[in-house]
Amino acid sequence: MTLTVVGSIGIDTVETPFGKAEDVPGGSALYFSLAASHFTKVQVAANLGTDFPEQAWDPVRKRGADLSGLRVFEDQNTFRWSGSYAGNMNEAETLLTELNVLAEPPVVPEAYQGSAFAFLANMGTDVQLRMLEELKADLVFADTMNLWIETQRENLDELLTKIDGFILNDAEARMLTGETNLIRAGGALLEMGPKVVVLKKGEHGAFLFTNDFHFALPSYPTARVVDPTGAGDSFAGGFLGSLAEMGDLTPENLRRAMAYGTVAASMTVEEFSTKGLSNCDRGALDNRFEELCNFVRI
């Protein structure tokens, strides 16, 4: 089934204990589509400038992605972000942010409307609400961040009543619900509206909550963590791409999707920028899926 993502495209400069990558491709929509396109046809809506490297799209284009929703600004640069990971590889210190083309909301092509699945990547909650109305998708998942929890809480509360699934990290879940215990936080988020809640815990795995069952999964045991940038968006791409491939939200499919999201994220963190996901194939994801199944019953 078709999966649409609305999000950001970026040019990143990242420094970790393993080196530095300057002016490399990034952004939620790119990481998400690189992961999701292994499973299903992806449609991408995002803003970028002419300074963004065109070759970054080659892997998703080869997998049949529809990129007609990319809006190229001739007179503005692509969103730029610079960050540093020192010691704690689960959280980056932001050194520079230049919104550039992100000052304008993405435009959803008419052909994208009515998509079977959609993902509203991290962006202003007011923009997410607008994109939700334009997409008219059957099943919609969304992401958020602490900034929108602090500054657009009313919009976020409204969004949660209108979406099917919500993906966020453990710190955001605690902040949004006021709960210190993640099990209680997951339950509180379900009460706010979504049918499915996924709480990401970085190197410690992820929780999935529905009103019928809970599921916990560890991270894939990789010893090579070079750059965590984009891991959360890659997880979301693997998760929703797998669900779109299978077609519905049965408990079995949700558990499998959690595993595919986990292994997609593991591919991302092993290289700087998008190299890990760009260079892998579906077979590599399937192999890691099977390896993860040896640790946990999916």
* 90, pLDDT greater than 80: no
The CA distance from 144 to 261, in Å, is 17
Between 203 and 180, the more confident residue is 180
Contact 37, 152 (CB under 8 A): no
Sequence-distant (6+) residues with CB within 8 A of 81 are 10, 11, 12, 13, 26, 94, 96, 97, 98
Cα distances from 121 to residues 4, 33, 132, 141, 218, in angstroms, run: 10, 11, 11, 8, 23
Query: In DSSP terms, which residues pair with 197 in a beta bridge?
Result: 166, 209
User: What is the distance between the alpha carbons of residues 271 and 21, in angstroms, rounded to a whole number?
Assistant: 10
Q: For residue 203, name the pLDDT band (cuts at 50, 70, 90).
A: confident
pLDDT (tens digit per residue) in 99-143: 999 999 999 999 999 999 999 999 999 999 999 999 999 999 999
Torsion of CA 58, 101, 244, 193, to 10 degrees: 160
pLDDT band with cut points at 50, 70 and 90 for residue 87:
confident
**Residue 46 token pair:** 């995002």
Q: Is 215 left (phi over 0), alpha (psi -120 to 50) or beta?
A: beta
Give the global pTM.
0.96
* Confidence band of 224 (pLDDT split at 50, 70, 90): confident
Q: What's at 158, amino acid-wise?
A: E
Q: Which domains does the chain have, with CATH numbers?
A: 3-295 (3.40.1190.20)
Q: Which two tokens stand for residue 112?
A: 């994208």
Residue 248 has pLDDT above 80, yes or no: yes
